Amino acid sequence: MKSVIKYDLKTPVQFIKGIGPRRAEAFANRGINTVHELLYYFPFDYFDLTQVSEISSLRRITDTTKRISVVGSIRAIDIAGRPPRRKCVITLGDATGTISLVFFQNANYFKSAFQVGEMLAVSGKLNFFQNRPQFVHPRIDRLEVGEEDNLKGFLHTKGIIPKYSSGEDFRNLRITDTVFRKIMKEVVDNFVEQAEEFFPESFLKRLNLLPLPVALRNIHFPETVEYKNASRYRLKFDEWFCFQLLLAYRKMKTKIQTPGISFNVKSNLARKLVDSLHFKLTKAQIKVVKEIANDMSQPKQMNRLLQGDVGSGKTVVALIAMLIAIDNGYQVAFMAPTEILAEQHYKTLAQFLREVNVNTRLLIGGQRKRLRDDIIGDIREGRANIIVGTHALIQESVEFANLGFVVIDEQHRFGVDQRAELVRKGKESVNVHPDVLVMTATPIPRTLSLTVYGDLDVSIIDEMPKNRKQIKTMMLAEPESDQLYTMIRATVRKGQQVYIIYPLIEESEKVDLKAAVESYEMFRDAIFTDLKVGLIHGRMSSDEKDQVMEAFKAKQLHILVSTTVIEVGIDIPNATMMVIEHAERFGLSQLHQLRGRVGRGAEQSHCVLVVPDWLARITKRQTDNIEIFDSPNSNNINELERQKARLTDGQALTRIQTMLATNDGFRISEVDLKLRGAGDFFGTRQSGLPELHIANVLDDGPIITLARQEAFQLVADDPHLRNQEHQSLRKYFFEKLKTSLTYIDVG
> pLDDT tens, 178-187?
788 888 998 9
* pLDDT mean over 391-414: 84
* pLDDT mean over 527-534: 94
> Mind listing the pLDDT tens digit for each residue in 651-687?
888 888 889 988 888 788 778 877 776 554 444 444 4
Among 154-163, 190-199, 565-574, which range has the highest average pLDDT? 190-199
Percent of residues, the chain, with pLDDT higher than 70: 84
pLDDT band at 267 (very low <50, low <70, confident <90, very high): very high
CA torsion sign, 569 to 574 to 576 to 581?
negative
pTM of the model: 0.67
Long-range contacts of 639-642 (CB under 8 A, 24+ apart): 641/614, 642/614, 642/617, 642/618
User: For residue 2, what pLDDT is reported?
Assistant: 45
pLDDT band at 743 (very low <50, low <70, confident <90, very high): very low
pLDDT band at 452 (very low <50, low <70, confident <90, very high): low
**Residue 468 CB neighbours (<10 A):** 16
Distance CA 216, CA 477 (A): 53
pLDDT band at 325 (very low <50, low <70, confident <90, very high): very high
Distance CA 588, CA 189 (A): 47
pLDDT of 147 higher than 70: no
DSSP codes, 3-69: -SS--STT-BGGGSTT--HHHHHHHHTTT--BHHHHHT---SEEEEESSPPPGGGGGG---TTSEEE
Cβ-based neighbours of 614, under 8 Å, separated by 6 or more = 634, 637, 641, 642, 645, 646
Whether omega before 84 lies within 30 degrees of 0, making that bond cis, reads: yes
Among 6-10, 411-415, 450-454, 517-521, which range has the highest average pLDDT? 517-521
Whether 573 and 604 have beta carbons less than 8 Å apart is answered as no
Going by C-alpha positions, the residue among 575, 567, 529, 568 that lies closest to residue 551 is: 575
pLDDT of 402 higher than 60: yes
pLDDT of 526 higher than 90: yes
pLDDT of 446 higher than 70: no
Residue type, 594: L
pLDDT band at 604 (very low <50, low <70, confident <90, very high): very high
User: For residue 181, what pLDDT is reported?
Assistant: 86
From the number of C-beta atoms within 10 Å of its C-beta (0-12, 13-18, 19+), residue 387 rates as buried
Distance CA 293, CA 295 (A): 5
pLDDT of 464 higher than 90: no
Where do the domains of the chain lie, and which CATH numbers do they carry?
Answer: 1-49+158-194 (1.10.150), 51-146 (2.40.50.140), 268-461 (3.40.50.300), 472-662 (3.40.50.300)
pLDDT of 500 higher than 80: yes
Distance CA 240, CA 233 (A): 10
**Cross-strand bridge partners of residue 579:** 500, 608
From the number of C-beta atoms within 10 Å of its C-beta (0-12, 13-18, 19+), residue 12 rates as middle
pLDDT of 568 higher than 60: no
Long-range contacts of 136-140 (CB under 8 A, 24+ apart): 136/102, 136/103, 136/104, 137/102, 137/103, 137/104, 137/105, 138/101, 140/101
pLDDT of 318 higher than 90: yes
CA torsion sign, 480 to 481 to 484 to 490?
negative
